[in-house]
Chain A
Amino acid sequence: MKSSTENTLQKLIIAGAGPAGISAALYAVRAGITPLILYKDGGALEKAVKIENYYGFSHPISGKQLYENGLLQIQALSVPTLQEELLSIEYDGDYLIHTALHTFRAKSVILATGTKRNTLSLKELKKYEGNGISYCAVCDGFFYRQKEVAVLGNGPYALHEARVLEPLAKKVTILTNGSEPAFAAEELGSIRVEEKKILSARGDTSLSHLEFEDHTLFPLDGLFVALGTADSTDIARKLGLFMEDNHILIEKDTSTALPGLFAAGDCTGGLLQISKAVYEGALAGTKAVDYLRKELQ
Chain B
Amino acid sequence: MAMEFTTANFEQEVLNSEVPVLVDFWATWCMPCKMLAPVIEELAEEANGAYKVGKVDVDASPSIAAQFGIMNIPTVLLFKNGQVAGKSVGAVPKEKLQDLLR
B86 within 8 A of A: no
The interface residues of chain B lying within 8 Å CB-to-CB of A72 are none
Partner of A241, one of B33, B35, B58, B87: B35
The interface residues of chain B lying within 8 Å CB-to-CB of A144 are 71
Which residues between 66 and 102 of chain B lie within 8 Å of chain A, taking CB atoms? 69-73, 75, 87, 89-93
Given A237-B90, A249-B93, verify A130-B33 contact (CB < 8 Å): no
Total interface residues on B, using CB and 8 Å? 22
* A240–B91 CB distance below 8 A: yes
The interface residues of chain A lying within 8 Å CB-to-CB of B44 are none
* B35–A140 CB distance below 8 A: no
Interface-centre pick from B30, B31, B90 (highest chain A CB count, 10 A):
B31
* B91–A130 CB distance below 8 A: no
The interface residues of chain B lying within 8 Å CB-to-CB of A81 are none
Partner of B71, one of A143, A238, A243, A249: A143
Given A129-B89, A130-B87, A142-B58, verify A239-B32 contact (CB < 8 Å): yes
The interface residues of chain A lying within 8 Å CB-to-CB of B72 are 130, 134, 136, 139-140, 143
* A239–B71 CB distance below 8 A: no
* A243–B91 CB distance below 8 A: yes
B36 within 8 A of A: yes
* A206–B69 CB distance below 8 A: yes
* A131–B73 CB distance below 8 A: no
Nearest CB in chain A to that of B91: its residue: A240
B27 within 8 A of A: yes
Partner of A242, one of B33, B73, B93: B93
CB distance from A59 to the nearest CB of B (A): 44
Nearest CB in chain A to that of B65: its residue: A143
The interface residues of chain B lying within 8 Å CB-to-CB of A61 are none
Partner of B35, one of A129, A142, A257: A257
Expressed in whole angstroms, the Cα–Cα distance for A118 and B85 within the complex equals: 33
Given A129-B89, A130-B89, A131-B69, verify A240-B32 contact (CB < 8 Å): yes
CB distance from A161 to the nearest CB of B (A): 14
Expressed in whole angstroms, the Cα–Cα distance for A241 and B32 within the complex equals: 7
The interface residues of chain A lying within 8 Å CB-to-CB of B91 are 237, 240-243
Partner of B31, one of A90, A142, A242: A90
The interface residues of chain B lying within 8 Å CB-to-CB of A136 are 32, 72
Given A143-B70, A206-B69, verify A240-B35 contact (CB < 8 Å): yes
Expressed in whole angstroms, the Cα–Cα distance for A139 and B58 within the complex equals: 12
* B73–A140 CB distance below 8 A: yes
The interface residues of chain A lying within 8 Å CB-to-CB of B92 are 242-244
* A240–B87 CB distance below 8 A: no
* B31–A91 CB distance below 8 A: yes
Which residues between 252 and 266 of chain A lie within 8 Å of chain B, taking CB atoms? 257-258
A222 within 8 A of B: yes
Expressed in whole angstroms, the Cα–Cα distance for A86 and B25 within the complex equals: 29
The interface residues of chain B lying within 8 Å CB-to-CB of A114 are none
* B70–A139 CB distance below 8 A: no
Q: Please give 5 more A-B residue pairs, beta carbons under 8 A apart, in addition to A138-B31, A240-B33.
A: A91-B31, A139-B73, A140-B71, A143-B72, A243-B92
A–B pairs, 22, beta carbons within 8 Å: A130-B71, A130-B89, A132-B71, A134-B71, A138-B31, A139-B30, A140-B71, A140-B73, A142-B58, A143-B70, A144-B71, A206-B71, A237-B32, A237-B90, A238-B31, A238-B32, A239-B31, A239-B35, A240-B91, A242-B92, A243-B90, A243-B92
Nearest 7 A/B pairs, CB to CB:
A240-B35, A240-B32, A240-B91, A130-B89, A143-B71, A242-B93, A140-B72
